[in-house]
A = this chain, B = another copy of it.
Amino acid sequence: MEEFAAKSGVSRPTVSKYFNDPSSVRASTRERIEAALERYDFRPNLYAVNQNRRLTKNIGIVVPNLADPFFSELARNIERRCIDAGFSPTTFSSHGSREHEIEIMDTLRSIRPAGVLLAPLGRSSDRATLEAFCKDVPTVLFDSNIEGIGAAFIGSDPFQSIPLMVDYLCRTGAPPCFFEMPPVNPNANKRRDAYLRAMQRLGHTPHVVRVEGHGWDFEDIGYREGLRVIAEGGLPSQTVLCSNDRLAIGLLAAAYESGIRVGITEECTMRIAGHDDHPFARFTGPSLTTVAQDYKAISERSVETVLKLVEGGSIDDSARDILFDGHLVMRASA
């Protein structure tokens, strides 16, 4: 930087200032630096910069499972917004495991992030670890909430989205049963509760089909348990609302294999709906009717919130928990 400053005819601290904020130097100075930049393509050493800055420009993003296209899309969206705001996002995946999540918190500390966007595992999370982390680093939770942790939470409102789907299903055919696996996070519980409430409000008897399974191979659980439940004739209703799209995708596969026609048309004997609008939901056979989460709003608000924290702002209570509405995506399966 010393050399480069000489080449551009300004002092080193001025160059340093330029790289931290080009608009903070006089226009004529800026031109000189940028002219030199063309010729020598100098760039500050990332490690030296981060070692000396009071606060890095790093933003950590943590999702429970990057192999899930839902989180992959969400993470990508968030990354882009961070970059546009002049920050350096780094995404981590907990791979559905508590140990990984803890490991990531440790790694995060070592990169000294200005802020973190965390979609926690949920039930598998180690509360103490996350709590300690959030005390040290400005952290915003998204997708899945853990009470009392993080400066804010941004997600979807199951008590809006689930009734939306239940209403639709009841209006267009038999009232749905609810297909779920042991909950991995609070969302799953809330979705079930929202289902129960919505059914009761409409005067229908709710039926929850809880199948076995653990881990994050949701499709596999939906498929295996779907095969079993169908074979045993154990579905209390031929309209099935699944706790999430991935489970629904598995159940669709099971139905297909069992020779059951799924869909809204006359000749079909079963209806299956999901929740989330998973990127693959368009390409199942039949295409999956679902409730779309508002990716855009969630990622936008999450980044906004964490950046506000980073810049020293505080979150007032009205913005602590933000829940966005989902919207119905009607396709062929229900």
A: residues with CB less than 8 A from B are 43, 45-48, 50-51, 66-67, 69, 72-73, 76, 90-91, 93, 95, 109-112, 219-220, 223, 249-250, 252-253, 255-257, 279-280, 282-287, 332
A219 touches B47 (CB 8 A): no
Q: Which of B46, B67, B110, B257 is in CB contact (< 8 Å) with A69?
A: B67
Taking the closest CB of chain B, its distance from the CB of A316, in whole angstroms, is 34
Bound-state CA distance A112–B44 (Å) is 12
B47 touches A285 (CB 8 A): no
Across the interface, which residues of B come within 8 angstroms of A250, CB to CB? 283
Q: Which of B50, B110, B283, B286 is in CB contact (< 8 Å) with A249?
A: B283
Q: Given A95-B76, A284-B253, A285-B285, do A279 and B45 touch, yes or no (CB 8 Å)?
A: no
Task: Given contact pairs A47-B112, A91-B91, enumerate 8 new A-B contacts (beta carbons under 8 Å).
Answer: A46-B111, A47-B47, A47-B51, A67-B76, A223-B282, A252-B283, A253-B287, A284-B284
How many copies of this chain are found per oligomer? 2
Bound-state CA distance A90–B92 (Å) is 9
B253 touches A285 (CB 8 A): yes
Across the interface, which residues of B come within 8 angstroms of A46, CB to CB? 110-112
Bound-state CA distance A212–B279 (Å) is 21
Across the interface, which residues of B come within 8 angstroms of A112, CB to CB? 46-47
Taking the closest CB of chain B, its distance from the CB of A96, in whole angstroms, is 11
Taking the closest CB of chain B, its distance from the CB of A102, in whole angstroms, is 14
Across the interface, which residues of B come within 8 angstroms of A280, CB to CB? 219, 249, 280
Q: Given A51-B51, A280-B219, do A285 and B90 touch, yes or no (CB 8 Å)?
A: no
A257 touches B332 (CB 8 A): yes
Across the interface, which residues of B come within 8 angstroms of A249, CB to CB? 280, 283
Across the interface, which residues of B come within 8 angstroms of A252, CB to CB? 283, 285
From A51, which residue of chain B is reached at the shortest CB distance? B47
Bound-state CA distance A276–B296 (Å) is 31
A283 touches B219 (CB 8 A): yes
Bound-state CA distance A198–B95 (Å) is 40
Q: Which of B48, B76, B90, B332 is in CB contact (< 8 Å) with A51?
A: B48
A sample of 10 inter-chain contacts (CB < 8 A) reads A46-B112, A66-B72, A66-B76, A69-B69, A72-B72, A219-B280, A219-B282, A223-B283, A280-B280, A284-B284
